[in-house]
Structure 1
Amino acid sequence: MSILQTAADITVLINSDVSSSERRVNPSWTISTLKSKLLPITGIPPSSQQLTLRLPHAPQPIPITAEDEDATTLAGWPLQAYAEIHVTDLRPPSSRLNLTDVSEITKWEMPVEQYEKRSDSVRAWKERNQLGRFDTTKQAQTDAEKDAAHERLWRETKAKGIEVGKRCLVGGKEGRRGTVRYVGEVEEIPAGGVWVGVEGDEPTGKNDGSIQGKAYFSCKPKHGSFVRPDRVEIGDFPEVNDLELEDLEEM
């Protein structure tokens, strides 16, 4: 390309449904030349390209087309810096390359054992500098905070008088009546901490006092539940009788 042609180059935006980039074009190029240069950018064959020029202040896109595209140059269109040339793919969707769907691409992952042996990995760097989960000071602080929260929850539970065998109300004034059957940790619940096992007077629970096959107490199916101490109120709550059950069923 000559120095004169380079001076006349215009930077424009080339956009398609799957690509967007800045390119320099020259008004002396023919439409066919431009389309051939757009092939590696958009992946659309020249014969399937429909070009339109979009200017900032133009109300409508301007088609870039001619009867003889091999002889017609771009000088006939009002090219200006950072105008947009949009490339539409005229091929049916089934014939186009899907450049955005990566679901069929096999993702390679380094085996964990191999990664842990590397000395130049992010993991190795964090371990050397005792950062993140390798920060023993932070871990000790976190463990201490968990222990303190656990002790506080136990004190609050005892202060509320939550003990095995006591009658209780779960969920507020209109909640469920029942009897405390268990107080303590439940390993099968990931949240940890103190849980209260309640045998409800009505079949509104989720279990029979067992979780994942481990029994913490025993009751009828769907009468057992595990709740946090803050949802439990201890008091003289009489058992729900048959008449009350009938009233609840009618409501």
Structure 2
Amino acid sequence: MDGGVTVVTNPLVNVRLTSSISSFEVQRRFNRGISIAELKGKLEMVLGATPSCMDLDLFSVSDKFLQKMDDNEALLGSFPVDDDCRIHVTDRSGQMSEFSDVSKVEKFEIPEESYEKRTDSARSFMKKHRVGVYNEEEMAKKKADLAAREEEQKAAADAISVGSRCQVQVSGQPTKLGTVMYVGKCG
């Protein structure tokens, strides 16, 4: 025996990825034997930032900052990366933020009269096949159902008076007793 220490870990690690580019969190699995430069190349495909403009920060499972991952030659496994750790990518280029601002996007708008004349639109298809709001019978039935439901609710509300005792049941919570303080429509 040479007296050396041998550390045995899983060669793959599952990490959570966040970035300054997107508000979404992504989970990916990486080999601990890849360099940080290779990791940045893989992250480019996931997040869209250029590797040369990436800053990587490592956070623990409980989201405590551990350290910067700024040595491109170092192996991913040389950092204290465990399953469910988070790697936050900061894009220093600033170019990706302009794609998330929809106010800079020019909208295509067509006048209502021109759209009405088109035969290849969703509206013309719905009219032709009598779908949705263009099906008078179905819309009349829905309107009648709504009126009947409102009438039932009104009759039920008329049977309740302010000051009456009531029992409130919410799924997942214990039943509660109370007193009616208001009868009517909300809003």
Q: Compute the TM-score of the two structures, normalised by the length of structure 1.
A: 0.41
CA contact (8 A) 2:13 2:81 kept: yes
State the distance in 2 between where 1:140 and 1:43 align: 50
1:60 aligns with 2:65: yes
Q: Deviations over 1:176-218 (max 9, x none)?
A: xxxxxxxxxxxxxxxxxxxxxxxxxxxxxxxxxxxxxxxxxxx
State the distance in 2 between where 1:14 and 1:58 align: 12
Taking a change above 3 Å as real, the CA distance of residues 141 and 78 of structure 1, as seen in their structure-2 partners, is closer
* Partner SS for 1:103: helix
Name the structure 1 match of 2:43.
38
Query: RMSD across aligned C-alpha pairs, in angstroms?
Result: 3.4
Taking a change above 3 Å as real, the CA distance of residues 131 and 54 of structure 1, as seen in their structure-2 partners, is same
Superposed displacement of residue 88, structure 1: 1.2
1:73 aligns with 2:81: no
Percent of residue pairs bearing the same amino acid type:
23
Structure 1 residues 136-175: aligned runs within 5 Å: 136=137, 138=139
Q: Deviations over 1:161-182 (max 9, x none)?
A: xxxxxxxxxxxxxxxxxxxxxx
Superposed displacement of residue 103, structure 1: 2.4
Runs of at least 5 residues in structure 2 that lack an aligned partner in the other structure: 1-9, 144-187
Structure 1 residues 167-246: aligned runs within 5 Å: none
Superposed displacement of residue 58, structure 1: 5.7
Runs of at least 5 residues in structure 1 that lack an aligned partner in the other structure: 1-6, 143-251
CA contact (8 A) 2:63 2:85 kept: no
1:124 aligns with 2:125: yes
Higher relative contact order (CA 8 A, sep 6+): 2
Taking a change above 3 Å as real, the CA distance of residues 18 and 137 of structure 1, as seen in their structure-2 partners, is closer
Superposed displacement of residue 98, structure 1: 1.5
* Partner SS for 2:105: coil
Q: Which has the larger radius of gyration?
A: 1
Q: Aligned AA for 1:14?
A: L
Taking a change above 3 Å as real, the CA distance of residues 128 and 84 of structure 1, as seen in their structure-2 partners, is same
Q: Deviations over 1:147-172 (max 9, x none)?
A: xxxxxxxxxxxxxxxxxxxxxxxxxx
State the distance in 1 between where 2:27 and 2:142 align: 52
State the distance in 2 between where 1:112 and 1:50 align: 48
Q: Aligned AA for 1:44?
A: A
CA contact (8 A) 2:21 2:91 kept: no
CA contact (8 A) 1:133 1:139 kept: no
Superposed displacement of residue 122, structure 1: 6.2
Name the structure 2 match of 1:87.
89
Taking a change above 3 Å as real, the CA distance of residues 13 and 109 of structure 1, as seen in their structure-2 partners, is farther
1:26 aligns with 2:28: no
Name the structure 1 match of 2:115.
112
State the distance in 2 between where 1:57 and 1:43 align: 26
State the distance in 2 between where 1:140 and 1:58 align: 54
Q: Compute the TM-score of the two structures, normalised by the length of structure 2.
A: 0.53
State the distance in 1 between where 2:62 and 2:29 align: 21
CA contact (8 A) 1:49 1:88 kept: yes
* Partner SS for 1:79: coil
State the distance in 2 between where 1:79 and 1:141 align: 57
